[in-house]
Amino acid sequence: MKPTLRSITVLILSLAMTACGQLISNAKQQFADDLSATLLEQNDPTMVKQAIPAYLVMISSMVRGDPDNPALLISASRLYGAYASAFVEDDKESRLKLATTSYEYASHAFCLRLPDACDLRSLTFERFQERLSTIGLADVDVLFALGSAWAGWLQANSADWNAVADLPKIQGIIERVIELDSGIDNGDAHLYLAVIRSLLPPAMGGKPEMAQSEFEEAIRISNGTNLMAKVLYAEKYARLVFDQDLHDRLLVEVLAASEHKDAHTLINAIAKQKARRLLAESPEYF
C-alpha cells in the first residue's frame, strides 16, 4: 500500500516534534550545567547563599518539564546537595529535605541510565557488590552522583540507625568510582572516602591511617587546589587523632592559598571560612 500524502506529512511532523523535543531537552540540560558552573565559580558565599533558593525552584521546574533527562537530574542533584551541605548546616529539618531531594534526583538519573542496577539499595551486600562490579567507566558520572547524594542524605539523617546501615553500600559505590576514575571531580571521590573512613576513632575499631591516605590522595590529585580537602583533613582526621601540629598547619595553608580554581572557587571560599573558625577553636580543642 502506497503511503498517502497525509501519512507522510504526519511522519514528517512526528520526526520534527521528536527533534524539537530533543533540542529543548538539550537546552535545559545546558542551562542547568551553565547555572551550576556559574554558581560554583563565585567567590562570595554570602551572595550565593542568598541566590541559590530561587535557582533551586527554577531547576526543579525544569526537571518537572523533563523528568527523564539523566544529565539534567544530575545537575539538579548536585545543586541541591551543595546547598544542603554548605549553607543549611544548622537547620537539620531543611537540610534533610534538601538532601532527600538531591538523592531522589540522583537515584532517578541512575535508574534511567542503568535500569538493570536500579535495585542496588534493596540488595543484600553480596549481591550489591556483584551488581556494582558490572558498572563501567561510561556510567561513572551517574554512579558518583548517586554515591555523593546518598552520602549527603546519610549525613543529614545520621540520627536514624536505619539510614546509617546504608554506609557500607555508600562506601562501596565510592570505592567503585575510584576504581573507574580516581581523579574524578578534582579528587572529590577520595575526599568522600576519607570522611567515611574517619567516622570511627581507633579505640572503636576505626582505621584513621586509611582515612589519612585518602585525604592526602585527594590533595595530591588536585595539586593542593582542593582547599576543602585540607579543611576536612584537619577536622576529621587531625582532630580524631589529636594532632594539633597537623591540624593547624593544614588550616594555615588553606588561609594562605588562593581560592580561585574554576568550579572549585565557591567551595574553596567556604573552606576558608571554615578554616578560620577551626583554627580559632584549636587552642580549646587540643
- Percentage, residues of the chain above pLDDT 70: 87
- Assess whether pLDDT exceeds 80 at residue 11: no
pLDDT digits (tens, 9 = 90+) for 83-97: 898 888 778 899 999
Q: For residues 8 and 116, which has the higher predicted lDDT (pLDDT)? A: 116
CATH code of the domain containing 88: 1.25.40.920
Does the pLDDT value for residue 52 go beyond 90?
Answer: no
Alpha helices in 114-226 (DSSP H): 125-132, 140-156, 161-164, 167-180, 184-196, 208-221
Residues 6+ apart with CB under 8 A from 159: none
pLDDT tens profile 150-200: 999 998 888 888 778 899 999 999 999 999 999 999 899 999 999 999 887
Q: What are phi and psi of 178, to 5 degrees?
A: -65, -40
pTM of the model: 0.85
pLDDT of residue 28: 60
Residue 2: what residue type? K
Q: Kindly state whether residue 10 falls inside one of the protein's structural domains.
A: no
The segment with the largest mean pLDDT, out of 4-8, 42-46, 214-218, 222-226, is: 214-218
- Going by C-alpha positions, the residue among 152, 233, 222, 228 that lies closest to residue 187 is 222
3-class secondary structure, 122: helix
Please tell me the distance from the alpha carbon of residue 220 to that of residue 226, in angstroms, as a whole number. 9
**Domain contains 118:** yes
Q: Determine contact, residues 166/150, Cβ cutoff 8 Å.
A: yes
Provide the number of structural domains found in the chain. Answer: 1
CA triplet 128, 141, 86: central angle to 5 degrees?
Answer: 100
Question: Is the Cβ–Cβ distance between 225 and 261 less than 8 Å?
Answer: yes
Q: What is the pLDDT of residue 164?
A: 81
Q: In the structure grid, which three cell numbers stand for residue 129, read together?
A: 557488590
Residue 264 has what pLDDT? 76
Contact 152, 102 (CB under 8 A): yes
pLDDT in tens, 219-278: 999 999 999 999 999 999 999 999 999 999 999 999 999 887 676 788 899 999 999 999
Residue 117: inside a domain = yes
Please tell me the least confidently modeled range out of 18-27, 92-101, 105-114. Answer: 18-27
What pLDDT shows up at residue 19?
A: 43
| 236/242 Cα distance (integer angstroms) | 10
Q: Which long-range contacts (CB under 8 A, 24 or more apart) does 21-24 make?
A: 24/66
Q: How many angstroms separate the CA atoms of 105 and 34, rounded?
A: 18
**Residue 119, domain extent:** 41-123+138-166
Report the alpha-carbon distance of residue 250 to residue 276 in Å, rounded.
11
- Does position 47 have pLDDT exceeding 50, yes or no? yes
Residue 15 clears pLDDT 60, i.e. is over it: no
